[in-house]
Amino acid sequence: MLERLQKILSQAGIASRREAERIITDGRVAVNGQVVTELGTKADAEKDRITVDGRPIRVEANKLYVLLYKPVGYMTTMKDPEGRPIVTDLLKGIKERVYPVGRLDYNTEGLLLLTNDGALANRLAHPSHEVDKGYLVRVRGKVTPAQLKHLAVGVDLEDGRTAPAVVSLVRESEQNCWISITIHEGRYRQVRRMCEAVGLTVVRLKRSRYGFLEIGELKPGEYRLLTPAEVERLQRGER
């Protein structure tokens, strides 16, 4: 089926449609060996050989949406130069190539969404979408009301002040405390850096929620496919 090139690039997870337009006009896209710069150009992703910077793209016909409980010790990149395990190693039985929506760092566990629906992945990852992400954080020692308030109103980091967050104390003991933090930004190691900025040492960090999706009864390393109703809610833009 003939479709506009920018739509095909978006569906393949290369870039958002707007970014794909720039890639095309910059002369980085070729169809069957011919460089294309016209935005109205159409192609057939199943029949034509489409490349970006000389590398062929692939659009999966069968769309998959996977909710994974990422364990500590796995990378959310598709390859790791140091040879560390990557999250797709855990998806036994899934033959389609899927990739993470956003990321969790090596030492963070919890809910990770993976898909081969590039258009949806780009939309969810875009800062304007502002998906709420809920974390459970175990920190060393006691947490003061002032520290909780500071986290909630915003923390000054080297890349700017964080947006207000929803913060609460879940459980406490003499040795450590569990706090709940919900943010909608997606900065690198944001929750860890927020805690460090207010004098808290993170011992364990788990993402328990992404928008309306929750980790539920999954254990580390386990995954499930989203239901059709959940996929529809994501596509409608529910958060």
Helix/strand/coil for 122: helix
Sign of the Cα torsion 191, 193, 199, 204 reads positive
| Beta carbons of 115 and 64 less than 8 angstroms apart | yes
105, 117, 132, 156: which one is catalytic? 105
Radius of gyration of the chain (CA): 20
132 a catalytic residue: no
Residue with tokens 């207010």: 198
Residue with tokens 């479709």: 3
| Beta carbons of 69 and 222 less than 8 angstroms apart | yes
What is the CA angle 216-74-175, rounded to 5? 65
Sign of the Cα torsion 117, 92, 78, 210 reads positive
Q: Dihedral angle at the C-alpha atoms of 132, 135, 141, 144, nearest 10 degrees?
A: 20
Residues in CB range of 47: below 8 A, 6 or more apart: none
Active site residues: 105
